[in-house]
Amino acid sequence: MSRKLLEQNGICPVATTIDLLSSKWKVLIVRDLLTGTKRYSELKQSVAGISQKMLTQSLREMESDGLVTRHAYAVIPPKVEYRLSDLGNSMRPVIETMANWGSVYLDQNPDKRKKLAQSE
Amino acid sequence: MSRKLLEQNGICPVATTIDLLSSKWKVLIVRDLLTGTKRYSELKQSVAGISQKMLTQSLREMESDGLVTRHAYAVIPPKVEYRLSDLGNSMRPVIETMANWGSVYLDQNPDKRKKLAQSE
DNA sequence: CAGGATCCGTAGCGATACTG
DNA sequence: CAGTATCGCTACGGATCCTG
């Protein structure tokens, strides 16, 4: 079903990108990994609001899509680090462009900034 | 719930952008409107695979978010045109960056291009 | 610490039928 | 043509409990 989009839209590059960044969580994970390697628990913190189920699931999918690499250390307590692959890193411009747009938008709509800042 | 992301992530610019481009459909609609005004039926065609429910719903939300403007003509049969607002147009770089990334990705992964081209 | 496995509610969405 | 309204499914995702 996640592939349907592409089937129907042929091979649109935009649709391709969306397909790999299918959920909002993945975008935020890439955002946070752009600054470097992060542990599972760190991501859990920085990607605020994500459940561990979604974090794990997203990371697994991103791994199999080649966006992220996983590095597990055989220590106790366990330590697992995630970092962007070259492919994942190549998404930097995409995320940055989104960040730029969002910044300008927030600057020009201080009202919404406020509304969103305080819960609902 | 669409706002939760922003509440919890403070006022992250990336999350802000995602919030307005919440669904894949909206991204594709912006993509198609970047080339100019389009009628409802044209969008239904170009955004392949979208149901009329989703198209209408997406357009309504984008309108209230200020991304799109609606122009209805009192003729029979009805004629309704949609175009990007200035805000919507300002998303051009975002979509283009995604398009660029997708192009490169497809070029470097001809296998996936094939896999996706033929259903499943 | 980094998860795997379940249970389960609900929002997202498609399909269908109807209208100005 | 460009919608609105309803019904009904399912899969997305949160909450919770358990483990090496």
Q: Residue B10 — pLDDT band, cuts 50, 70, 90?
A: low
pLDDT, tens digit (0-9, with 9 covering 90-100), for B77-97: 999 999 999 999 999 999 999
Q: In strand D, which positions have an atom below 7 A from any protein CB?
A: 1-6, 11-16, 20
What average pLDDT score do residues A21-45 get?
95
Q: Is B52 helix (H, G, I), strand (E, B) or coil?
A: helix
Please indicate whether, in this complex, the C-beta atoms of B93 and A101 are within 8 angstroms of each other: yes
State yes or no: pLDDT of A110 exceeds 90. Answer: no
Q: What is the CATH number of domain B3-119?
A: 1.10.10.10
Predicted local confidence at residue B117, as pLDDT: 44
Nearest to A101 among B3, B17, B48 (CB): B17
Predicted TM-score (pTM) of this structure: 0.89
Whether the CB of A100 is less than 7 Å away from nucleic strand D comes out as no
N-term to C-term CA, chain B = 32
Question: Which residues 6+ apart lie within 8 Å of A14 measured at CB?
Answer: B27, B28, B31, B95, B98, B99, B102
Could you tell me which residues are beta bridge partners of residue A82?
A: A38, A70
Where are chain B's structural domains?
3-119
State yes or no: pLDDT of A96 exceeds 90. Answer: yes
DSSP letters spanning B9-62:
TTT-HHHHHHHHT-SHHHHHHHHHHTTS-EEHHHHHHHSTT--HHHHHHHHHHH
Among B63, B53, B79, CA closest to B30 = B63
State yes or no: pLDDT of A3 exceeds 60. Answer: no
